[in-house]
Amino acid sequence: MRILAAGDEFVGTGLLVDAVRAELGGAHEFAELSLPWPVVPFGPVGNVQEASGTEQQVIDAIAGAEVAVTQMAPFTKQVFAAAPRLRMVSVSRGGPVNVDLAAATEAGVAVTYAPGRNAGAAAEFAIGMILAAMRRIATSSAELLAGTWRGDYYSYANTGVELAGTTVGLVGYGAIGSKVARVLVAFGADVLVADPYADRAKVTADGAELTELDDLLRRSFVVSLHARLTEQTRHLIDADKLALLPEGAVLVNSARGGLLDYAPLPDALRSGRLGALALDVYDVEPPPADWALRDAPNVIATPHLAGASRQTAERAAKIVAAEVGRYARGERLANVANPDVLAG
């Protein structure tokens, strides 16, 4: 079987090849392609999103391949048209946004993905962002390194707030949100969850309370976003929703930039409606030089790092390799984004 391994600087090509070889054993032919993400930011390629490299690079590398494993390579209609032998694309991400699923289905190609691959890393990062924002860890560090000793942060009016006894609202309760909830409960926080697809019994068993979004926003001093970005959730948190938050609330987004309407955030921070804002994702990545939040107060900003751990990359490679193994053995695939293709 000929397999295309299209890795990048995070989930490397060698990591993918080694994982697939360990899964399959025996002799298989590999074509290898290395893409420049994250050194070069991802973006739209053809009609797919968050991709790295070009259609032509994939077309040149995929000739004769039956299976492809990748994280960021663009799989567009043009790519599928150039790969008539292709039968499966296994994407090492939580969602295969770099694949044209309609074109894949039309071409008879199953597309698999890797849910939960970065859940541990992203949950840890979200907790870190929450603590950094609540206790001024990042902003006071930046000020100290710039030469300012903020002794006034020890005054009662300016001190941080502990997690214990604080109400924290989680918007989204998938693999990441549920892990965050359990950690917050261990800290002694009161955790609210807004997710129309969440199982109430599971939320309760985790020590949290399931409620509606508006109720969560009114009651939560900290709100952390963990929803998947869809047309229904785009700008889920806008100016009207921000107005529901308690004065001085903390907002954290380490999920997807499109969940937030960024336009009202600078004024919300300057007015005190938001006490702190912690971001790992943005409406435009990277943010432009004239980004309005650069000079807003109490902002923590990191460059889309929540899922960036070595274990995430290794786990992602193993998940896609396991799908290749199932395909090679004729077994049912575990995580198929276009299940209709299997019915054909």
Segment 249-294, tens digit of pLDDT: 999 999 999 999 999 999 999 999 999 999 999 998 889 999 999 9
Could you please report the per-residue DSSP string of 162-231?
Answer: -STT-EEEEE--SHHHHHHHHHHHHHT-EEEEE-TT--HHHHHHTT-EE--HHHHHHH-SEEEE-PPP-T
Mean pLDDT estimate for the chain: 95
By annotation, the residues acting in catalysis are: 256, 285, 304
Phi, psi for residue 4 in degrees, rounded to 5: -90, 125
Do 160 and 134 form a contact (C-beta atoms < 8 A)?
yes
Domain with residues 2-117+309-343, CATH architecture: 3-Layer(aba) Sandwich (3.40)
CATH topology (fold) of 119-301: Rossmann fold (3.40.50)
Distance CA(237)–CA(214), nearest Å, equals 10
What residue spans define the domains of the chain?
2-117+309-343, 119-301
pLDDT above 80 (res 26): no
Distance CA 87, CA 64 (A): 11
The DSSP result for 241-273, as a single string, is HHTTSPTTEEEEE-S-GGGB--TTHHHHHHHTS
> pLDDT digit string (tens) for 285-343?
889 999 999 999 999 999 999 999 999 999 999 999 999 999 999 999 999 999 999 87
- Is residue 4 helix, strand or coil? strand
pTM of the model: 0.88
| Identical topology for domains 2-117+309-343 and 119-301 | yes
Average pLDDT, integer, range 92-115: 96
